[in-house]
Amino acid sequence: MSRDTTAAAPATMAHERKSMLGVGAATLVGSALEWYDFYLYGIAAALVFNKIIFVNSNPTVATLAAFATFAVGYLIRPLGGLIFGRIGDTLGRKSVLVITLMVMGVATFLMAFIPTYEQVGIWAPITLVALRLVQGIGAGAEFGGAAIFSVEHADPRRRGLHGAWPATGVYLGLLLASGVFAIVTTLPEPEFLAWGWRIPFLLSAVVVVVALIIRLRLTESPAFLEIKKADHSPSSPIREVFTNEKKAMLTLFFAQVPQNVVSTLNLAFITTYLVGNLKLASSVGPLATTIGSATTMMLLPVFGYLSDKIGRRPVMLTGIVFSAVFAFPYFWLIDSQAPLPITIAIVLSLGIGVGAMFGPQAAYFSELFTGGARFTGLAFARETAGAATAGTTPLIAVALVAATGGATWAVSLFVIAACIIGAIAVILGGETRGRRMSATTVTELKGSEGSFAH
């Protein structure tokens, strides 16, 4: 009998490793699609939609209109978080990951066929906004579902590391989107505006097919199955989080603010600023963010691993403090108008600032909630924070630069204010490392801190 047990142990470990590889691939590719989609829109809003969809003689007004639809995608995401979060808490995590993938993918693919304002008039922006709304609803539960799925499958002592894969997928998507756009922006402007910008949207179909094949092969998370087997799920996950887990939602909301602001400045606003204010070539921004995204993608698992060793809170605070300190030097480098300093600014801001905030996030946010209402609470609170800050940051930044006559000091102060809010939330929220994923009450959840149990 002892020989059988000994022989079975390596096989069990090998099976678990294989399972985590599948989970990691599924969450990484799905998150890559989500942010490939969303970042494509951010770049197109800065370079294309303000010229062919939202036509206005005033470039600033046209850009603001384009970024307003960027914000619309974020504003609708909390609704997607509630709808799909409830499904994820009642029917399972896997089913939601498949549904959201299809919703986002189809909406993004169809954006490639949107006619211009010159062709159909007001129906061009109406069609774009409608697809943006559908895309946002699907994206409302994508990262939350991927984060929960990876963390609930992981070894309790490796949640930070394995939870970093969805975040890595985000930057893989950004890398793919900025890389493809960096290529198509080399086309002559008439060709780029006529058909070149549509190619990245068409290519989203490839990511959808790959992600769907991987996700359909997954098994449900152990924590969800344990809760269902014990019949401890709340009858209404929505009522549960709003009644008993408000502190967790508030902690998540405010902790998310600095990461949203800093990342969206780099990934949506800065290209507009480089082209519109500094009059640089349209390829400078996408190329710099490609390098920044690649760097961040490599550092995210490192920060996730560090959070397993020293805690979620110290790592996240490192990223928040760095972002606050770097707020003014960041624009000093950007305003040099030289490609190298611009790239260094974006690499440091994304790689260290956002990387340290984002790497531990899946584990940290998942550990804030009980198992029966985790999907609903995490998805809704995170996407509400996104609607309030990430979706509006480009608009605020454009308005601040315009109000100060082209200066950036107000944007730097905006970043510092966001970091102060986030730091207070993380400090007051406490440490979560090691909490039991299948805990069904807040008391049980907090009492399991440091237990490193599923």
**Residues 83, 76: Cα–Cα separation, whole Å:** 11
Q: Is 391 exposed, middle or buried (0-12, 13-18, 19+ CB in 10 A)?
A: buried
**Residues 392, 261: Cα–Cα separation, whole Å:** 9
**13 occurs within a structural domain:** no
Q: Which two tokens stand for residue 409?
A: 């000091």
Least confidently predicted of 109-123, 137-151, 215-229, 378-392: 215-229
Q: Which two tokens stand for residue 238?
A: 């929505």
Residue 321 has pLDDT above 90, yes or no: yes
**7 occurs within a structural domain:** no
Compute the radius of gyration of the chain from its Cα atoms.
Answer: 21
CATH number of the domain to which 121 belongs? 1.20.1250.20
Residue 3 has pLDDT above 60, yes or no: no
Residue 325 has pLDDT above 70, yes or no: yes
CB within 8 Å of 101: residues ≥ 6 apart: 30, 33, 138, 142, 208, 211, 212, 215
Q: Which pLDDT score, from 0 to 100, does residue 284 have? A: 86
Residue 247 has pLDDT above 90, yes or no: yes
Q: Which pLDDT score, from 0 to 100, does residue 277 have? A: 86
Q: Which two tokens stand for residue 23?
A: 């989970």
Residue 215 has pLDDT above 50, yes or no: yes
The rounded mean pLDDT for the chain is 85
**1 occurs within a structural domain:** no
For the segment 400-414, the average pLDDT, to the nearest whole number, is 94
Q: Which two tokens stand for residue 425?
A: 């939330």
Most confident region among 153-167, 181-195, 205-219, 320-334 by mean pLDDT:
320-334
Q: Which pLDDT score, from 0 to 100, does residue 15 have? A: 45
Least confidently predicted of 2-6, 104-108, 200-204: 2-6
Most confident region among 43-52, 224-233, 423-432, 438-447 by mean pLDDT:
423-432
Task: Give how far Cα 79 sits from Cα of 133, 140, 146, 273, 383, Å.
Answer: 10, 7, 18, 31, 9
**96 occurs within a structural domain:** yes
**Residues 320, 302: Cα–Cα separation, whole Å:** 17
Q: What is the pLDDT of residues 354-399, one digit of tens each?
A: 999 999 999 999 999 998 899 999 999 999 998 889 878 988 998 9
**6 occurs within a structural domain:** no
**Residues 79, 90: Cα–Cα separation, whole Å:** 17
**253 occurs within a structural domain:** yes
For the segment 189-203, the average pLDDT, to the nearest whole number, is 88
For the segment 408-416, the average pLDDT, to the nearest whole number, is 96
Q: Which pLDDT score, from 0 to 100, does residue 213 have? A: 83
% of residues, the chain, pLDDT over 90: 37
For the segment 61-90, the average pLDDT, to the nearest whole number, is 80
For the segment 233-242, the average pLDDT, to the nearest whole number, is 84
Helix (H), strand (E) at residue 201: helix 198-202
Q: Which pLDDT score, from 0 to 100, does residue 348 have? A: 97
**Local confidence band at 5 (pLDDT 50, 70, 90 cut-offs):** very low
Query: Can you spell out the DSSP letters for 285-354?
Result: HHHHHHHHHHHHHHHHHHHHHHHHHH-HHHHHHHHHHHHHHTHHHHHHHHTT--HHHHHHHHHHIIIIII
**How many structural domains is the chain composed of?**
1
Residue 62 has pLDDT above 90, yes or no: no
**Residues 435, 218: Cα–Cα separation, whole Å:** 24
**Local confidence band at 18 (pLDDT 50, 70, 90 cut-offs):** low
Task: Provide the domain limits for residue 251.
Answer: 21-447
Q: Which pLDDT score, from 0 to 100, does residue 257 have? A: 97
% of residues, the chain, pLDDT over 70: 91
- Identify which of 240, 243, 204, 39 has the alpha carbon closest to the alpha carbon of residue 108: 204
Give me the count of residues in the chain: 454
**3 occurs within a structural domain:** no
**4 occurs within a structural domain:** no
- Identify which of 284, 262, 277 has the alpha carbon closest to the alpha carbon of residue 352: 262
Q: Which two tokens stand for residue 405?
A: 């006559």
Residue 2 has pLDDT above 50, yes or no: no
For the segment 280-289, the average pLDDT, to the nearest whole number, is 83
Residue 7 has pLDDT above 50, yes or no: no
